[in-house]
């Protein structure tokens, strides 16, 4: 019997993004399958945030393509297929929004002609809040959350949106070990449920706890492999540009 292979959940091909004279991405190529957590590892300025922005359709590539389930970023944006959990410094936490308001934003693409949330939207928000264990904090202002709770609120927004691909930009920055473990378990569970999860991280020590695979980025993809392979000193040295003996572990 003939079978048709589904396209990868996320396919980045020859992606090049320049900001004036700065080349942030230079022919980055990789693809991700559903059901896995992939770590995105690279030094500061290696192009990780730019990669996320390109997948979200927020920056226009100078060359190359991004396909989400075989479709372009415009289709993914309109259908809410991809969700983005930003770095915390990219969010205005003083904005007078409750956790529930943030999660409800994930439903905007699903609202009907009246643009008013209906019972199904509120149900999706409640389910997403429960999924990330934030039900009890639903009415709290977002600025009054801890670092880990803030990340979980944005993950819940992605779940309410029914995104199948989740991108997280440095979710472990500034959180304690226990919070990191809670977030890791959540991401692992979401991937086990069939989602595609791409997480940028500086925490190399816990890379193999976090992810099934890792992409080592230095403007282009140096290696896409199991965490143990990516963590080999000679590979890290290629990404971080230092002698293998000096690579921090």
Residues in contact with ligand ATP by CB under 6 A are 19, 22, 24, 42, 44-50
**Beta carbon of residue 155, minimum distance to ligand ATP (angstroms, whole number):** 19
- Tell me which residue of 156, 84, 125, 80 sits closest to 117, measured CA to CA: 125
> Of the two residues 129 and 221, which places its CB atom closer to ligand ATP in the complex?
221
**Beta carbon of residue 21, minimum distance to ligand ATP (angstroms, whole number):** 9
> Of the two residues 22 and 130, which places its CB atom closer to ligand ATP in the complex?
22
> Of the two residues 40 and 132, which places its CB atom closer to ligand ATP in the complex?
40
CA–CA gap between residue 62 and residue 78 (Å, rounded) = 22
- The CA-CA-CA angle for residues 242, 239, 49, to 5°, reads 130
Tell me the two tokens of residue 165. Answer: 């691909």
Tell me the two tokens of residue 131. Answer: 């999924």
**Beta carbon of residue 26, minimum distance to ligand ATP (angstroms, whole number):** 11
> Of the two residues 24 and 132, which places its CB atom closer to ligand ATP in the complex?
24
Tell me the two tokens of residue 130. Answer: 């429960």
> Of the two residues 52 and 142, which places its CB atom closer to ligand ATP in the complex?
52
**Beta carbon of residue 44, minimum distance to ligand ATP (angstroms, whole number):** 3
Sequence-ordered strand ranges (E) for the chain: 10-19, 22-32, 37-41, 63-68, 82-85, 165-169, 196-200, 213-218, 220-225
**Beta carbon of residue 245, minimum distance to ligand ATP (angstroms, whole number):** 23
Contact 60, 48 (CB under 8 A): no
Number of other CB atoms surrounding residue 79 within 10 Å:
17
**Beta carbon of residue 210, minimum distance to ligand ATP (angstroms, whole number):** 16
> Of the two residues 50 and 184, which places its CB atom closer to ligand ATP in the complex?
50
Contact 64, 16 (CB under 8 A): yes
Contact 84, 58 (CB under 8 A): no
């Amino acid at each position: 019997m003939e079978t048709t292979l589904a396209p990868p959940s996320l396919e980045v091909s020859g992606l090049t993004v320049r900001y004036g004279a700065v080349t942030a991405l230079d022919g980055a190529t990789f693809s991700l399958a559903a059901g896995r957590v992939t770590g995105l590892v690279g030094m500061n300025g290696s192009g990780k945030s730019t990669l996320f922005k390109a997948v979200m359709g927020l920056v226009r590539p100078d060359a190359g393509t991004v396909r989400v389930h075989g479709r372009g970023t415009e289709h993914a944006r309109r259908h809410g297929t991809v969700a983005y959990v930003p770095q915390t410094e990219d969010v205005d936490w003083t904005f007078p929004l409750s956790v529930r308001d943030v999660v409800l934003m994930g439903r905007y693409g699903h609202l009907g002609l009246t643009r008013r949330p209906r019972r199904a939207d509120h149900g999706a928000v409640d389910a997403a809040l429960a999924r990330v264990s934030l039900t009890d904090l639903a009415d709290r202002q977002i600025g009054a959350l801890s670092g880990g709770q803030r990340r979980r609120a944005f993950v819940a927004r992605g779940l309410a949106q029914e995104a199948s691909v989740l991108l997280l930009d440095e979710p472990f920055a500034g959180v304690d070990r226990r919070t990191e473990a809670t977030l890791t378990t959540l991401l692992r569970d979401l991937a086990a449920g069939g989602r595609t999860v791409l997480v940028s991280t500086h925490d190399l020590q816990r890379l193999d706890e976090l992810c099934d695979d890792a992409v080592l980025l230095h403007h282009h993809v140096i290696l896409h492999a199991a965490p143990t392979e990516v963590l080999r000193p000679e590979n890290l040295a290629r990404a971080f540009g230092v002698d293998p003996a000096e690579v921090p572990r």
